[in-house]
């Protein structure tokens, strides 16, 4: 079968595309290239430039490439931006998904994997977040992901489509430097950016009820995340009938901001300037760590990479694009 990977030229999407292609799956990528980069894709992977809002393009792509299943990653995904532009997020993330699902139903497809997010949980007050933890998103981005899950599952039940919703936690690292994250929105590249400019990285609050007072998060290597999408897609392909699966993608291990800062200093060799503690950010929960039991049980998947590998590979990718960082 042939899989359409939407957003397949993005940071996460390119890793998913390569993982599936390397495993022998036939794939075609749809990406509007607003944040995706075509050079991330192998030359033999077809790239269709466009958006899931374009129903005519979707119909044509399905027919031209004989698509039989979809892995949907394309979405706006910045929390702060979603607060400032909620209409844009609902249009692209929810309406775009609606258009895509309409095209999937019309084409008679029976396999659909949706890349969701731990943002659906909001601020869970639990040691480990399970799939049964109440979903109480705190921002439009998380709301659009939760609404997307509802749409996917409802469509699957009504039209006999096997579906999977994959709730991933904090993604980091790179399979190789050329695939590294180019944005400066997550903590690891934010620290690299500050160190490159000779500024102190920021720790937002050190008075949380955690062992060292800083927030604790579950970090997942992007290669592991890509592998989880592959095994989920293969699970869908093996199903004879409809059914839905919703799983966390995480390690089950928490790392504090202070621990991560110390590791970044060790990997980069940059201890000066030291991180500077500032006030808490509104809406930051003290601890968000995934339970990874269900995905292990259902798909036989477990994370293979540790946080050091994430930081080391991310640093190599950062230095590829910012050579001055290594010599500073």
Report, as residue numbers or ranges, the catalytic residues.
141
Q: What is the CA radius of gyration of the chain?
A: 19
Q: Dihedrals φ, ψ of 174, to 5°?
A: -160, 150
201 and 195 Cβ atoms separated by less than 8 Å: yes
How would DSSP label each residue in 164-177?
EEEEE-EEE--SSG
Tokens 């293969």 label which residue?
Answer: 234
Residues 6+ apart with CB under 8 A from 108: none
Q: How far is CA 227 from the centre of its chain?
A: 12
Q: How far is CA 220 from the centre of its chain?
A: 9
233 and 3 Cβ atoms separated by less than 8 Å: yes
The rounded distance, in Å, linking the Cα atoms of 51 and 55 is 9
149 and 99 Cβ atoms separated by less than 8 Å: no
Q: 281-300 burial, b for 16+ CB within 10 Å, e for fewer? A: eeebebbbbbbbebbeeebe
292 and 302 Cβ atoms separated by less than 8 Å: yes
- CB-count burial class (<10 Å; 0-12, 13-18, 19+) for 43: exposed
Q: Dihedrals φ, ψ of 103, to 5°?
A: -65, -40
Residue length, the chain?
328
- CB-count burial class (<10 Å; 0-12, 13-18, 19+) for 191: buried
């Amino acid at each position: 079968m042939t899989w359409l990977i939407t957003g397949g030229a993005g940071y996460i999407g390119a890793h998913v595309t390569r993982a599936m292609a390397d495993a022998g799956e036939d794939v075609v990528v749809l990406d509007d290239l607003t944040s995706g980069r075509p050079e991330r894709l192998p030359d033999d992977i077809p790239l269709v430039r466009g958006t899931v809002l374009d129903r005519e393009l979707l119909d044509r792509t399905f027919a031209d490439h004989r698509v039989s299943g979809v892995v949907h990653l394309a979405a706006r995904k910045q929390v702060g931006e979603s607060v400032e532009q909620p209409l844009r997020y609902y249009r692209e993330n929810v309406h775009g998904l609606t258009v895509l699902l309409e095209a999937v139903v019309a084409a008679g497809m029976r396999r659909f994997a949706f890349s969701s997010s731990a943002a659906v949980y909001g601020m869970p007050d639990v040691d480990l977040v399970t799939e049964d933890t109440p979903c109480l998103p705190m921002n439009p981005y998380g709301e659009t992901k939760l609404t997307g899950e509802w749409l996917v599952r409802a469509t699957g039940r009504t039209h006999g489509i096997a579906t999977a919703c994959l709730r991933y936690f904090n993604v980091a690292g790179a399979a190789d430097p050329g695939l590294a994250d180019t944005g400066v929105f997550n903590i690891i590249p934010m620290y690299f950016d500050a160190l490159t400019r000779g500024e102190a990285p920021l720790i937002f609050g050190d008075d949380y009820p955690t062992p060292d007072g800083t927030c604790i998060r579950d970090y997942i290597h992007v290669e592991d995340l890509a592998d989880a999408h592959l095994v989920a897609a293969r699970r869908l392909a093996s199903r004879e009938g409809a059914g839905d699966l919703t799983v966390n993608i995480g390690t089950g291990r928490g790392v504090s901001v202070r621990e991560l800062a110390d590791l970044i200093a060790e990997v980069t060799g940059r201890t000066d300037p030291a991180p500077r503690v500032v006030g808490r950010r509104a809406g930051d929960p003290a601890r968000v760590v995934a339970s990874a039991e269900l995905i292990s049980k259902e798909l036989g998947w477990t994370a293979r990479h540790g946080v050091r590998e994430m930081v080391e590979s991310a640093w190599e990718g950062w230095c590829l694009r910012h050579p001055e960082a290594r010599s500073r």
